[in-house]
Amino acid sequence: MASSEKQLKKQAEKGIWKSYFRLMFKAKLPWGWIIFVSALYMFSSTITLAFPNFASKVATGVLKPYIIWGTVGLIVADVIMSGVVRYFNKLLVAKIDVSYRSLIWERLIKSPLRFFDQMKPTTMITRITTDATKISTVLGSYLPSLAATIYGTIGVVAVIFTYDWRLALSVIVYIPLYLIFNLFYGKWNYRAFKETYNRLSTLTQFLSELLMSVPLIKTFVTEKKEDERGHKNLQYYYKANMRRYIIMWVENPINGILSITSDILVILYGGYLVKAEIITISEWLGFFMYIGMLWGMLGSFLMMYVEIKKSQGATDRIAALMDGDLEVSERNFSISKLEDNIVFKDVAFSYGEKPVLGHVDVTIPVGKVTAIVGPSGSGKSTIFSLLQQFYQPNSGEILVGKTPISEYHLTDWRDLFAGVAQDSPMISGTIRENIVYGVNRDVTDAELAEAAEKANALDFIKGFRDGFDTYVGEAGSNLSGGQRQRIAIARAILRNSDILLLDEATASLDSQAEKFIQEAMDTLMQGRTTIMISHDLSNVQDADQIIVLNGGTVDGIGTHDELLKTNELYRLLVQLHTSSSAG
Ligand SMILES: Nc1ncnc2c1ncn2[C@@H]1O[C@H](COP(=O)(O)OP(=O)(O)OP(=O)(O)O)[C@@H](O)[C@H]1O
Ligand SMILES: [Mg+2]
């Protein structure tokens, strides 16, 4: 178990380069810019490479005019070039950043609901914010500078060999040593980094859950328990951080020893070569400077390696996002009006592993009212999701007449529906924006007021100082449940769709409001195919057909009177309802 886990971990660490290449070609990267910035880097490297050659001569008193002016020119050019490179590099990072963000955004919008069920919102937020930043920084800054660093390293090695091959060779043996240590170290460091990162994520998640459930915590007086949980998480994070700092600390002395011994070698052996008049003092000095550059470049390679490894989580997550299926809207047929019955033919469905519906065979008559009743969790809302094709059935078919609904253009199909749901979703914005959301035409103020009035929402909207321009807060958090529902009803009225889906549409209303709403609903339902889910059985008695659902299968179908005679569960539900509303 533990070893297979380890293996999995290793495999995950290996896949990184593949993920990277895939990602590089999925987004429309500004290749022209990448090449341009790489060229700038090369140019800048060339200037840097030339500098020690000149500077060492000046330092040792070789004062020919071309050497003095060359040195001055190189200093100026170096400063200007590094500024220019930095500017264009930032520009490039920004360009790459926006192309990844739009790619992620597009994918998220077009991903099927199934995809979102598997991921927490906090994870998704990380993806769009930090993951994109990480990838664009790595691709934008390291990709162009990589080429220049390789070029610079080769350049330095070539130059030091022209000074003296023995001296060069004695230093070059350090390179594998340095690389091997740092590669192992990099891996080690990366694991420690990942551990801290995971601990921090846990902590963040804990915090966000905590903040969302403050009322719950206060109600059940669980502050002490939550406090302890929080401290435990903090301790884990602290320990992981300590481990990371210890590992970071190890790197310094070891690399220090490596570079000091190589410096001593250059000084002692170089001194000997100067004394023996094999090389000049200025060559010795130049050599020394180039070796410093070499260590710097090796350091850059390692930094790139570590940064790329660090961004691995982000890369994997985004690669997974890129590989998922998308909803395809383009299909064989268009549809603008429901003209035939909707038929469920032996439909089975599960969310992941969990079976929710099995062998559902029902017909939903066009233009009529169908009610779905059944215990909580029996799959009622799931039927709505399947109808709107948020999910596809695992087996069986949903048809309109003889055509599977999956043959209709998806946008056409979803346009047929207007819904008022159990927890009617809101967008953050004004009441007006929420009412006209998804209504694809211009809406006049008079129409807006009429719809609000019909939904029995006009009074409370007028009660707000800003009326229709009242800001509803994040996801409508400034509104009560009943207010949100009435806004959703007004939206459904305006949308004027063929099929109405009412999921407990009147659940959050008091009986007074409910009466008004019921009237509004009755007008709204006229001539439309309505499917309603209700626990309030007095609402469903007039339905043309009632489907009783139990544990994901159809327990009975019929009118109120028929079901009272034939269906045990229905009778029970009615009994429960009458006794609860009496009490
Ligand atoms: N997105 C989801 N992922 C996994 N399981 C789900 C998901 N949505 C619903 N379920 C499960 O599917 C089953 C049916 O849920 P559904 O929402 O259809 O029930 P319901 O009949 O509408 O219940 P209620 O009357 O409480 O609204 C439940 O057991 C529920 O836990
Ligand atoms: Mg439900």
Contact 27, 99 (CB under 8 A): yes
For ligand 1, residues with CB inside 6 Å are 117, 351, 354, 356, 374, 376-382, 422
pLDDT in tens, 37-81: 999 999 999 998 988 888 888 887 878 888 889 999 999 999 999
pLDDT above 80 for 511: no
**Which pLDDT score, from 0 to 100, does residue 1 have?**
43
CA 521 / ligand 2 centre spacing (Å): 19
Calculate mean pLDDT across residues 172-178. Answer: 86
Looking at all shown ligands, the one closest to residue 421's CA atom is 2
Contacting residues for 407 by C-beta, under 8 A, at least 6 apart? 331, 332, 333
Distances (CA, A) of 337 to 497, 498, 544: 9, 6, 21
**Which pLDDT score, from 0 to 100, does residue 316 have?**
79
pLDDT band at residue 583 under the 50/70/90 scheme: very low
CA 493 / ligand 2 centre spacing (Å): 22
CA 541 / ligand 2 centre spacing (Å): 19
Average pLDDT, the chain: 86
Report the atom number in ligand 1 closest to the C-alpha of 374: 21
CA 379 / ligand 1 centre spacing (Å): 6
The string over 240-272, giving b where at least 16 C-beta atoms fall within 10 Å of a residue's C-beta and e elsewhere, is: beeebeebeeebeeebeebbeebeebbeebbee
More confident residue, 469 or 127: 469
pLDDT in tens, 525-542: 878 899 999 877 887 888
Instruction: State the DSSP string of 90-153.
Output: HHHHHHHHHHHHHHHHHHHHHS-HHHHHTS-HHHHHHIIIIIHHHHHHIIIIIHHHHHHHHHHH
Most informative mutation of 114, 115, 118, 356 for ligand 1 (most atoms within 8 A of CB):
356
pLDDT in tens, 336-394: 999 999 999 999 999 988 899 999 999 999 999 999 999 989 999 999 999 999 999 99
pLDDT in tens, 247-295: 988 887 888 888 888 889 888 998 999 999 888 888 888 888 898 888 8
Measured distance CA(393)–CA(396) in Å, rounded? 7
Report the atom number in ligand 1 closest to the C-alpha of 383: 18
Contact 408, 334 (CB under 8 A): yes
Residue owning tokens 């330092």: 59
**Which pLDDT score, from 0 to 100, does residue 483 have?**
84
Measured distance CA(159)–CA(444) in Å, rounded? 77
Q: Secondary structure of the chain: what % helix, strand, coil (to 5)? A: 70, 10, 20
**Which residue, judged by its Cα, is nearest atom 18 of ligand 1?**
379
**Which pLDDT score, from 0 to 100, does residue 582 have?**
53
CA 527 / ligand 2 centre spacing (Å): 25
3-state secondary structure of 483: helix
Residues, the chain, total? Answer: 583
pLDDT in tens, 195-245: 898 898 888 888 888 888 888 888 888 889 999 999 999 999 999 999 999
**Which residue, judged by its Cα, is nearest atom 7 of ligand 1?**
351
Q: Which of 346, 244, 363, 255 is nearest to 299 (CA)?
A: 255
pLDDT above 90 for 449: yes
Which residue out of 226, 307, 353, 504 is catalytically annotated?
504
Which range has the worst mean pLDDT, 204-208, 269-273, 331-335, 464-468?
204-208
Distances (CA, A) of 577 to 379, 538, 539, 572: 20, 8, 11, 8
Active site annotation includes 106 = no
Measured distance CA(112)–CA(386) in Å, rounded? 12
Report the atom number in ligand 1 closest to the C-alpha of 422: 27
Report the atom number in ligand 1 closest to the C-alpha of 504: 27
pLDDT band at residue 10 under the 50/70/90 scheme: low
